[in-house]
Amino acid sequence: MKIYHESDADISFLKGKTVAVIGYGSQGSAQALCMRDSGVKVIIGETEKLENSENPSWKRAKEDGFEVYNIGDAASKADIVHILLPDEFHGPVYKAEIEKHMTKGKALCCSHGFNIVYKEIVPPADVDVIMVAPKAPATEERKAYLAGFGVPGLFAVAQDGTGKAEQVALAMCKAMGFTRAGVLKCTFEQETYEDLFGEQNVLCGGTVDLIKYGFEVLTEAGYPPEMAYFEVLHELKLIVDLVFERGIQGMNAVISNTAEFGEYYNGPKIIDPSVKDRMRESLKLIENGEFAKTWLAEARAGKPNLLKKRADWAKHPIEIVGKEIRSLFEKK
Binding site for Mg ion (CB under 5 A): 195
Cα 298 from Cα 319, distance rounded (Å): 25
11 neighbors 171 (Cβ within 8 angstroms) = yes
Encoded amino acid at 311, one letter: A
Q: Is 41 left (phi over 0), alpha (psi -120 to 50) or beta?
A: beta
255 vs 285 by CB, closer to Mg ion: 285
Residue 92: which H helix or E strand, with range? helix 87-93
| CA 67 – CA 21 distance, rounded (Å) | 11
d(CA 278, CA 258): 31
With CB under 5 to 8 Å by kind, the binding choice for 187 among ligand NAI, Mg ion, none is none
Residue 30 or 232: the one with the smaller Cβ distance to ligand NAI is 30
Partner that binds at residue 289, options Mg ion, ligand NAI, none, CB closer than 5 to 8 Å by kind: none
Residue 82 interacting entry, from Mg ion, ligand NAI, none, C-beta within 5 to 8 Å by type: none
Catalytic residue among 5, 112, 234, 316: 112
Residue closer to ligand NAI, measured from CB, 81 or 93: 93
| Cβ-closest position to ligand NAI | 25
| CB of 55 or CB of 187, closer to ligand NAI | 55
Does residue 90 carry a catalytic annotation? no
Q: Report in angstroms how near the CB of residue 156 gets to ligand NAI at its nearest.
A: 13
Phi first, then psi: what are they for 234, rounded to 5°? -55, -50
d(CA 202, CA 231): 19
Instruction: List interacting residues with ligand NAI (CB under 6 A).
Output: 23-28, 46-47, 50, 55, 57, 84-87, 89, 93, 110-112, 133-134, 137-138
The residues annotated with a catalytic role in the active site are 112
